[in-house]
Structure 1
Amino acid sequence: MDAQGIPGRGEPITTRFISGGASNEIFEIGRGEHRWALRRPPRKVPPGRNETMMREYRILAALAGTDVPHARAVGGCEDTSVLGAAFYLMDFVDGWSPISEPGWPEPFASDPDARPGLAHELVDAIAKLSRVDWKAGGLEGLGRPEGFHERQVDRWYAHLDRFKFRDIPGLDEAAGWLRGRTPRSYEPGIMHGDYQFANVMFHHGAPARMAAIVDWEMGTVGDPLLDLAWVVMNWPAGEADRPSVGYVNYEGLPLRDELLERYATMSGRDVDEIDYYVILARFKLAIVLEGGYARYVSGGADNPRMEAFGRVVLDLARDAAHLAQTTKL
């Protein structure tokens, strides 16, 4: 901290564990009147996780001075001898995340008129992210934007081959539809890679104001429209679809088409081919979650929530295949 000019030199350091364990760990770090969040891999560091940690830090540093809600990068350390893993410090965000709440907190729980802002902020944040000049931010080489879409099926099938232990009906149908298809218009940009309500934080109180996008471990330079698809792939398209899906309650939130139009207006990107991105998002997420489920089945993970991934994976693959069969693209 001293070597990187972080404030509080000479003051005692305080620490408080916030979250983590099997996944990346977060600590609150205090020194004098200052406080930050420290993010590091779990105690048993998975292969490649140190490199991923520094990728996250690089993305946060590139967002400095932009209008994208994020925790400001403060300092990073690649030397694994310090804490046993690479780690970085960022500003501490005082807010709440939908994934850690049993329902919408007040005033959103009792005031339906305040809830649309939560969805608007969710979409606005990635629209802003899509406009960031990633080259000016020093992110050349972070990803391989050239040929991004042409690589996706083979890239994720190669990932699946590492742990495949069962058939996943519908996955091959979705893959067959995706192969050889590329969007008519593709403009590379920064993408989060796992963008959803679970990976954002809001300021306390109304109106809804996003405090930060968090958990950048899948961040890269690719096609930002895939982040939009991640948001809308299970979003209600009509009133009949309102019942809760997953961990959020969609009552009082805007419908899917409103969010697509809002993103298009703010980002300047064409969303007419959103079905392509939704099929790709479902295909990719099915494989990502299958990895967690495979570890759970083999005894390599003890998080009981991973048991539910087994059914979710099958649903995602089925829905990807169905959309591939019925889309008008």
Structure 2
Amino acid sequence: MTPVTASTEPTESLGADGLLDLPALERYLSAELDGGLAGPLTARLIAGGRSNPTYEVSDGTTHWILRRPPYGEVLQSAHDMSREARVMSALAGSAVPVPDVVLECDDPSVLGAGFYLMVKLEGRTYRTHDDTATLTVDERRQLTERMVETLVELHSNDPAQVGLADWGRAEGYLERQVARWARQWHRIKTSERPEVDELAERLTRSMPPLRFPGIVHGDFKIDNLMVAVDDPSRILGVLDWEMSTLGDTLADLGVLISFWDEIGQLHNPITAGATAHEGFPTGAEVIALYADRRGISVDDLEWYVAFADFKIAVILEQIHHRHLQGTTVGDWFDDIGGMVGPLLTRARDRADRAEL
């Protein structure tokens, strides 16, 4: 999901693969960008993205990042590029660092779907156990503290003050989320897993009341942050806003903890041990740090973490479904299907421990 590593070498056109029509994009950008283009476009598909295809595009002088929806059938209202561009534009200049959006296009005749272009950040994303092994113990602690502070800053924003009063409806957010992902499972499932309906029923029955409404990122985790190469504690940009809306902000903390791997414990199959190193605090310590920075109590967070495991499992099944249909882009999808079962099992285990 995040622009860091190329999975293909730059090429004059990806159109031969039916992916990115560079001649069409070049015509469009030449007309829409102030000053046009400095030269012919090249592009490369960015590795790491398991959902929205993401490309680095360059005219030989300037480098941008282009984001578009997945190829093939997707959940209605998901992967809306105009929403992703809007929330980043709204937060520009706030305490939440985001890339600058250059332009957005809602005309599907250009690339087959809406897309937007943003400034390429010159930084690094840490997404694997090996990546974070390069950090010192102090750097891991400092990065964690800055991550939590950034999440608190996001949740402290008044949506109306940044032009997002109509961004969504916080009331009923959790109910809609559980129902939405349960429905989506039955639309795209590739195997029978009765635990999905069981979990949806338990989550619905034990749902906590809305206490802290605000802007929700929806996928806040370590590999959706771009940090400075020379200072891992300096966050250059929060990325991947495709699931952002107004809702229950504790859902973001639940997602962060779902992805927060610890030494000696089962790792989330996506992050696969990224934070399982000395220096990274435990998940419980991250929760306590968030609560302290925000000045709130989060005693009922286990529900949110179980829900995060459930939601992420459905999203991975959705990507696996598209992969089987041949509509994913890139070469990092073969293991997606195997990630679903462990997440559902962990969600059920969390629900058991919390007596949900």
User: Deviations along 1:21-54, whole A, 9 cap, x unmatched?
Assistant: 984232344587x654333346779686897011
The aligned residue for residue 183 of structure 2 is 158
Partner residue of 1:260 out of 283, 287, 303: 287
% identity of equivalent residues: 31
The aligned residue for residue 265 of structure 2 is 241
Question: For residues 114-263 of structure 1, what are the structure 2 equivalents within 5 Å?
Answer: 114-206=139-231, 208-236=233-261, 240-241=264-265, 246=272, 248-252=274-278, 253-263=280-290
Q: Distance in 2 between matches of 1:50 and 1:198?
A: 20
| Code of the aligned partner of 1:218 | M
- Work out whether residues 243 and 251 of structure 1, in 8 Å CA contact, stay in contact via their aligned partners in 2: no
Greater Cα shift, 219-228 or 271-280: 219-228
Q: Distance in 2 between matches of 1:286 and 1:50?
A: 16
- Work out whether residues 203 and 210 of structure 1, in 8 Å CA contact, stay in contact via their aligned partners in 2: yes
Indicate whether 1:289 and 2:310 are aligned: no
1:249 deviation in Å? 4.7
SS in 2 for 1:115: helix
Q: Distance in 1 between matches of 2:346 and 2:273?
A: 19
The aligned residue for residue 321 of structure 1 is 348
Q: Structure 2 unaligned runs (5+)?
A: 1-28
The aligned residue for residue 277 of structure 1 is 304
The 1:20–1:236 alpha-carbon spacing in structure 2 relative to 1, beyond 3 Å, is closer
- Work out whether residues 145 and 222 of structure 1, in 8 Å CA contact, stay in contact via their aligned partners in 2: yes
SS in 1 for 2:132: coil
- Work out whether residues 96 and 154 of structure 2, in 8 Å CA contact, stay in contact via their aligned partners in 1: yes
Q: Tell me the TM-score normalized by structure 1.
A: 0.83
- Work out whether residues 232 and 256 of structure 1, in 8 Å CA contact, stay in contact via their aligned partners in 2: yes
SS in 2 for 1:89: strand
Q: Distance in 2 between matches of 1:235 and 1:140?
A: 31
Q: How many residues align?
A: 322
Q: Distance in 2 between matches of 1:325 and 1:77?
A: 46
1:277 deviation in Å? 0.2
Q: Distance in 2 between matches of 1:164 and 1:126?
A: 32
| CA RMSD between the two structures | 3.3
- Work out whether residues 168 and 317 of structure 1, in 8 Å CA contact, stay in contact via their aligned partners in 2: no
The aligned residue for residue 66 of structure 1 is 94
1:311 deviation in Å? 2.9
Q: Tell me the TM-score normalized by structure 2.
A: 0.77
1:20 deviation in Å? 4.4
Q: Distance in 1 between matches of 2:198 and 2:77?
A: 32
Question: For residues 45-84 of structure 1, what are the structure 2 equivalents within 5 Å?
Answer: 52-84=80-112
1:93 deviation in Å? 0.6
- Work out whether residues 169 and 314 of structure 1, in 8 Å CA contact, stay in contact via their aligned partners in 2: no
SS in 2 for 1:306: coil
